[in-house]
Chain A
Amino acid sequence: MKLTVWTYEGPPHVGAMRVATGMKDLHYVLHAPQGDTYADLLFTMIERRNHRPPVTYTTFQARDLGADTAGLFKQAAQDAYARFKPQALIVGASCTAELIQDDPGGLAETMGLPVPVIALELPSYSRKENFGTDETFFQLARALARPMEKTAHVTANLIGPTGLGFRHRDDVVEVTALLNEMGIEVNVVAPMGATPADIARMGQAHFNVLMYPEHAEAAARWMERDLKLPFTKTVPIGVGATWDFLKEVSEITGLPVRADDSRLRLPWWSKSVDSTYLTGKRVFLFGDGTHVRAAARIARDEMGFEVVGLGCYNREMARPIRALAKEFGLEALVTDDYLEVEAAIEALAPEMILGTQMERHIGKRLGIPCAVISAPVHVQDFPARYSPQMGWEGANVIFDTWVHPLVMGLEEHLLHMFRDDFEFHDAAGPSHHGGHAPKPLERTPAEPAAAAEEGAQPVPAAPVPQPVSTVEVVWLPAAENELKKIPFFVRGKARRNTEKFAAERGVREIGVDTLYEAKAHYAR
């Protein structure tokens, strides 16, 4: 038993729904009680879908439990087939139905439905949403796809995009354009937009582009073995990764790398002098493994940030993320407990978070700007405009998105210079963000540690690993005042560095001099 306030991933049957809802002419019969239908609103509200997810819920109630829940399932499956006439059915159980052990797969098999019925075993009490997407797509591929004659010219399948995916809609367009430039056509995009008949002809392609390992790695590996389809290992998010992806495609197909990067702006935007202020910004990365891995490379090599912490919530990616962290000289945070993530961010006091909607809220609480790089998604992650993460346009989008939350170049300097202007003080937030009420200077949210030390607010989080800096050091009033004159977006770092500096030297009282000695020590 584990106490959870917010979760990064839903249960695995929601993953199966993401596959089914992304597809066409597939129907999902889910053995589930009333209430599990809440999942429909993820698609109709967050993603603004204009149709109901193709899911029939058996809706059993307490009074059915002693009676015939299996009969209820068969009736629901029969009715769903008759009404929706899908090309194939997937059947399975939600967490409650798993406990009553009706075996939807076995039941459906006895019904003699005239279309393929694919049974899903999704263990609700040990696995989560991303397992659900991956396993469902794998089972669909295994049941429907067969070795086939290859298309005459070189084609690829784009695999991994699902319903409710973070920018999947636009990534598909971008990757398609990249392949087209090399003279490669798309055979099937799946699950998103595919019918079961399309899944069946995936074997015609020459290779797979594994866009999202979270959702399609099992299928990619199976197709590699059974359909002889190699798959790409690089996810083309960021400039370097996109070039690597094109090289990988070239190696697989034997076609030369051909790319029109005339619309790629990130390199010049990053090199231009206006971006100097981005140098060494301390960032913390958290999200799904794939997006964090891509973001780490962009942050360090393409934006000139300093990555001070990184991690992912999906345990399936723990190994590559730990390896990545090691490469950055860091310890990876692999957890799905947002309180742990919050504690880590609080302790590291980064200047920016690149995370999920959860970290956006953490950032709001701690007064740290945040840009969203990964699912779980929110209605804001489905913008009306074209907004991919992959390819050249994806790199442009990422540059803009990451820079937007920050206080911009000259403004940053002005805030350093004129610290007490009543209208133009740092706690008011970046001036290009409207509606920021000036916050009181006394206890800005960037100083949660200070607030906690003063005992003014209850420490909200669970066992919070304390920052390294909470060694018994005392700030003298003058130093405390001096600290307040430092703009909020670097104040956390200054506090932390000074305390560390003092602790290392056995200094118990921090004065103004200590503050500036620490500043000199950590100068870069």
Chain B
Amino acid sequence: MTHHSPTPPARGCGNAPILKERGQREVFCGLTGIIWLHRKMQDAFFLVVGSRTCAHLLQSAAGVMIFAEPRFGTAILEEQDLAGMADAHDELDREVGRLLARRPDIRQLFLVGSCPSEVIKLDLSRAAERLTRVHAPHVRVLNYSGSGIETTFTEGEDACLASMVPVLPETQARELLVVGALPDVVEDQMLGLLRDMGVGPVRVLPARRSEEIPAVGPNTVFALTQPFLGETTSALERRGARHLAAPFPFGEEGTTAWLAAVAAEFGVDAETFARVTEAPRARARKAIATVAEGLRGKSIFFFPDSQLEIPLARFLTRECGMEAVEVGAPYIHKQVVGPDLDLLAEGPVISEGQDVDLQLDRVRAARPDLTVCGLGLANPLEAEGLTTKWAIELVFTPVHFYEQAADLAGLFARPLRRKGLLSGLSGGVAGGGGRAGAAASGGIEPPSTARGQARAASGEGSA
């Protein structure tokens, strides 16, 4: 890299031992990716073939229901579907026919496998082929599995993108393919930077609409914007494309290194690179510096969630002055996150997989200043006095590239800042504020005396 290469630490985590754990995992399954994918691909519909649990997960994980006629749904398997497999296929054909008749705007339909559909071995690839024949050329039907027995959270996006790769058109053109679902505004910034450097043509996967679907071939070079795309990487390599390894574009340093890898590949001269990146780099550094004040010297502990953990730990330790205690990831694809691991100074425990009770023991012993974890753990840990950042927000917020670098730091700084602001909760009585969430603990002390009634009447008896 002639343009810019970050100075690696004396000893990075590239060869650090990995603590591998196997036990209860407090993570979402791959179906969750549908929540952002269905907004990203505007003419795609995601039809989960699964159970009521799948449907309930999707509406619960979305947090707020997206009532604007979501482009996803669940074909809920019922008892009679489990009995006869041929019937299940007929039923699926009927539901798909109905759906497509109602939504003529749909051009791509993803049949998404779930735990139950995998266990009963409902062959969705056969169904997708059959349905493509029926509904072509207007609709293309693909399938992938978002099941919990095979995918963890963001692996759902990986499986979805990987399912698209074999049917991408063939090209001999030398093109850059940028892979990973980004918010439109971030994607446009990225395309602008590359255009200004003279890199092109640039294609993106997933495309916003089906007519913009990229082609792929032996002269395609691809860069990932998300670290969880291991299967997609393999699928693209099978099509002859070449992976451009780089740190991920989080923070000023990560973004610069990512752009530099692309620039080197496409022969961008150093002067052009500097001209295009100088101003946004300076902006990003300045903005991060302000936010990072609240992070400097603070310790951080990552529970495994989205696979963003290693690149984020790199950003927070190198650019925001935090100290990583443990960096847990559901899976570690060294081919993909190797450059980030190399830049992360040795010290933190790097863990893969999860046994949540053992990991909770470790976080309680370490008492980090900030714990990054899933929604199921955040409030319980807050009630124990730990400050938390819910990990899912990192996937739902624009955080990539220069202009979002400070926002990314801000996501981690805000819980700490809030903790500092909330100084008035104990009424000055020692321990008065320590009963966090006591009212919600489910403990009911029924007022058994007349005083209890008075409390109830005056609206004070809710605890």
B379 near A393 (CB under 8 angstroms)?
Answer: no
| Contact indicator per residue, chain B 39-71, by CB within 8 Å of chain A (1) or not (0) | 000000001010111011101110101010110
Complex-state Cα separation, A177 to B98, whole angstroms = 53
Chain A, interface size: which category?
35 or more
Complex-state Cα separation, A94 to B119, whole angstroms = 13
**B-contacting residues, A141-181, CB 8 Å:** 158, 161, 163, 169-170, 172-174, 176-177, 180-181
Stretch at the interface among A296-304, A379-387, A409-417: A379-387
Shortest Cβ distance from residue A437 to the other chain B in the assembled complex, whole angstroms: 17
The verdict on A523 contacting chain B, using a C-beta distance below 8 Å, is no
The verdict on B184 contacting chain A, using a C-beta distance below 8 Å, is no
Count of chain B residues near A, Cβ 8 A: 87
A169 near B52 (CB under 8 angstroms)?
Answer: no
**B-contacting residues, A360-414, CB 8 Å:** 361-362, 364-365, 382, 384-387, 392-393
Complex-state Cα separation, A408 to B59, whole angstroms = 34
The verdict on B185 contacting chain A, using a C-beta distance below 8 Å, is no
Complex-state Cα separation, A462 to B95, whole angstroms = 12
Stretch at the interface among A39-47, A222-230, A272-280: A39-47
By beta carbon, the residue of chain B nearest A76 is B24
By beta carbon, the residue of chain A nearest B88 is A1
Complex-state Cα separation, A234 to B443, whole angstroms = 25
Q: A176 — which chain B residues lie within 8 A by C-beta?
A: 446-448, 452, 456
A34 near B27 (CB under 8 angstroms)?
Answer: yes
The verdict on B74 contacting chain A, using a C-beta distance below 8 Å, is yes
Stretch at the interface among A186-194, A248-256, A446-454, A474-482: A186-194
Contact of B29 among A10, A34, A64, A357 (CB under 8 A): A34
By beta carbon, the residue of chain A nearest B439 is A384
Q: B55 — which chain A residues lie within 8 A by C-beta?
A: 4, 6-7
Complex-state Cα separation, A39 to B74, whole angstroms = 17
B95 near A48 (CB under 8 angstroms)?
Answer: no
| Contact indicator per residue, chain B 360-379, by CB within 8 Å of chain A (1) or not (0) | 00000000000000111111
A60 near B149 (CB under 8 angstroms)?
Answer: yes
| Contact indicator per residue, chain B 424-463, by CB within 8 Å of chain A (1) or not (0) | 0000000000001111111110111110110011011110
Given contacts A52-B376, A173-B446, A173-B456, A38 and B57 within 8 Å (CB-CB)? yes
The verdict on B31 contacting chain A, using a C-beta distance below 8 Å, is yes
The verdict on B18 contacting chain A, using a C-beta distance below 8 Å, is no
Contact of A50 among B67, B116, B147, B441 (CB under 8 A): B441
B149 near A34 (CB under 8 angstroms)?
Answer: yes
Mostly, the A contact residues are: mixed
Complex-state Cα separation, A174 to B446, whole angstroms = 9
Shortest Cβ distance from residue A37 to the other chain B in the assembled complex, whole angstroms: 5
The verdict on A14 contacting chain B, using a C-beta distance below 8 Å, is yes
By beta carbon, the residue of chain A nearest B383 is A50
A35 near B376 (CB under 8 angstroms)?
Answer: no
A180 near B379 (CB under 8 angstroms)?
Answer: no
Shortest Cβ distance from residue B353 to the other chain A in the assembled complex, whole angstroms: 10
By beta carbon, the residue of chain B nearest A58 is B24
A4 near B383 (CB under 8 angstroms)?
Answer: no
Q: A137 — which chain B residues lie within 8 A by C-beta?
A: none
Shortest Cβ distance from residue A395 to the other chain B in the assembled complex, whole angstroms: 13
B116 near A49 (CB under 8 angstroms)?
Answer: no
| A/B pair count, beta carbons within 8 Å | 268
Q: B452 — which chain A residues lie within 8 A by C-beta?
A: 173, 176-177, 180
Given contacts A6-B59, A125-B78, A181-B453, A49 and B51 within 8 Å (CB-CB)? no
The verdict on B28 contacting chain A, using a C-beta distance below 8 Å, is yes
Shortest Cβ distance from residue A182 to the other chain B in the assembled complex, whole angstroms: 11
Given contacts A45-B379, A79-B357, A361 and B65 within 8 Å (CB-CB)? yes
Complex-state Cα separation, A260 to B460, whole angstroms = 18
Complex-state Cα separation, A125 to B117, whole angstroms = 12
B52 near A7 (CB under 8 angstroms)?
Answer: yes
Shortest Cβ distance from residue A242 to the other chain B in the assembled complex, whole angstroms: 14
A50 near B379 (CB under 8 angstroms)?
Answer: yes
Complex-state Cα separation, A83 to B436, whole angstroms = 24
A128 near B52 (CB under 8 angstroms)?
Answer: yes
B375 near A45 (CB under 8 angstroms)?
Answer: yes
Contact of A49 among B53, B69, B442, B448 (CB under 8 A): B442
Complex-state Cα separation, A386 to B294, whole angstroms = 37
Q: B52 — which chain A residues lie within 8 A by C-beta?
A: 4, 7, 9-11, 95, 124, 128
The verdict on B213 contacting chain A, using a C-beta distance below 8 Å, is no
Complex-state Cα separation, A3 to B92, whole angstroms = 9
By beta carbon, the residue of chain A nearest B56 is A10
Given contacts A1-B76, A95-B115, A96-B119, A193 and B443 within 8 Å (CB-CB)? yes
The verdict on A460 contacting chain B, using a C-beta distance below 8 Å, is yes
A180 near B380 (CB under 8 angstroms)?
Answer: no
A35 near B31 (CB under 8 angstroms)?
Answer: yes
Shortest Cβ distance from residue B412 to the other chain A in the assembled complex, whole angstroms: 20
A50 near B59 (CB under 8 angstroms)?
Answer: no
Contact of B462 among A5, A51, A260, A385 (CB under 8 A): A385
Q: List 20 A-B contacts (CB under 8 A).
A: A1-B91, A4-B73, A6-B55, A6-B65, A22-B442, A34-B148, A35-B152, A40-B377, A57-B24, A62-B118, A62-B147, A65-B119, A126-B79, A161-B444, A169-B442, A169-B462, A173-B461, A180-B453, A185-B448, A387-B462
